Amino acid sequence: MSLTQQLKRPKVALYSYSYAGMSYDGPALSIKEVISRAKGFGFEGIELDCRTPHAIPYLLKEKDRKEIVDYLAKESIELSALAANNDFSSPVIEHRDANIQMVIDMIRLCRDLGAPVLCVFMAWQGTSRRDGLGTHEIARPGYEMAFPQITITERWQHCLEAFRIVVKEAEEQSVILALQNHPPIVRNHTDCLAMVEEVGSPNLKISFNISGEGAWQQTDWILEAGRCLSDRWVYSHFGGGFKREQDGTVVRIPLGRISGPMQTMDWNYDAWVQAMSEVGYSGYVSYEACPNYLSNGRYEPMEVIDRRVQMAKDYIEQIFTKYYPKGDR
């Protein structure tokens, strides 16, 4: 039996932000409703977003947390991770203190819910609602213009100091922090790797997202990234638009018109999964139906998101079959 045939395939999770009522025309689903939807679509895990209306710690009392644990068991689905939307880069002490406390609260929520991973950022520009729908267009320019004299080096140092604080709680609660290769500040996985090495904690690792590599989508680059990350690669996310062909296979398609600035969506999924197989990655790959999609000038209904979510799972598993032909789950 070849090495490839012995590899365990990664598992697929659904990120609850997909159903937070931010990127489609329809209401937000409750945590239990998202869990049931993920199970119904055949996902093996669910990643809960730590923003309202989902897993924000101050809304989840002890009874609520137990109910979530029990409901996950009832649906026979794993909690793959929680997701923080933190910003450690502010030059304002009170901003950083609030974000540090928020992440500590989320680490403790991971402990209570049984989530092994908390996905984190170095910096995050923020999310807003307008006319009932989510947008990054309000917060993004605010982040960029708020402190025009601060340097990237200064922001980096703020992030470093914050991570050195929160990893202590992560170590105490046996939770892994997965630093996402996501802007701002972060250009690609090399910046995440540098931060992880500077912090020097076994509980700070990396979520390697193919979109986070930006323009660096060459196959050799992605494969080398996987080798460099090695066992520090503990989580992943993906997105995109898809279409089902007549024979049942799923292909990627351009997202079409989205609200907000258009960005490149030409992500090298094939090389990404190949990198997973080369380094033996068998963790979770979590799908996020984001950003906001427009059809004939209107936001798409939830049924369209449902189809996209199902196709996303089928698409990534098609690629798994190529590189993990007989891999066990």
CA distance readout (Å), 218 to 26, 137, 150, 179, 238 = 38, 29, 32, 22, 17
Residues 6+ apart with CB under 8 A from 182: 121, 209, 212
Q: Give residue 253's pLDDT.
A: 85
Is residue 237 within a helix (H) or strand (E), and if so which, with residue range?
strand 233-238
Report if residue 223 sits inside a domain. yes
The two most distant CA atoms of the chain are separated, in Å, by 59
CATH number at residue 154: 3.20.20.150
φ, ψ (nearest 5 deg) of residue 272: -60, -50
Ranges in the chain, pLDDT < 70: 1-6, 255-265, 291-297, 327-329
Q: Give per-residue pLDDT as tens, 31-46.
A: 999 999 999 999 999 9
Distance between CA 137 and CA 132 in Å, rounded? 14
Q: Give residue 37's pLDDT.
A: 98
Q: Identify the domain containing residue 275 by its residue range.
A: 3-323
Q: Give residue 20's pLDDT.
A: 95
Distance between CA 122 and CA 147 in Å, rounded? 17
CA distance readout (Å), 118 to 19, 37, 176 = 19, 22, 6
CA distance readout (Å), 54 to 2, 118, 169, 299, 312 = 43, 15, 22, 22, 22
Q: Give residue 6's pLDDT.
A: 65
Distance between CA 136 and CA 291 in Å, rounded? 9
Q: How many domains does the chain have?
A: 1
Report if residue 328 sits inside a domain. no
Report if residue 228 sits inside a domain. yes
Report if residue 329 sits inside a domain. no
Report if residue 161 sits inside a domain. yes
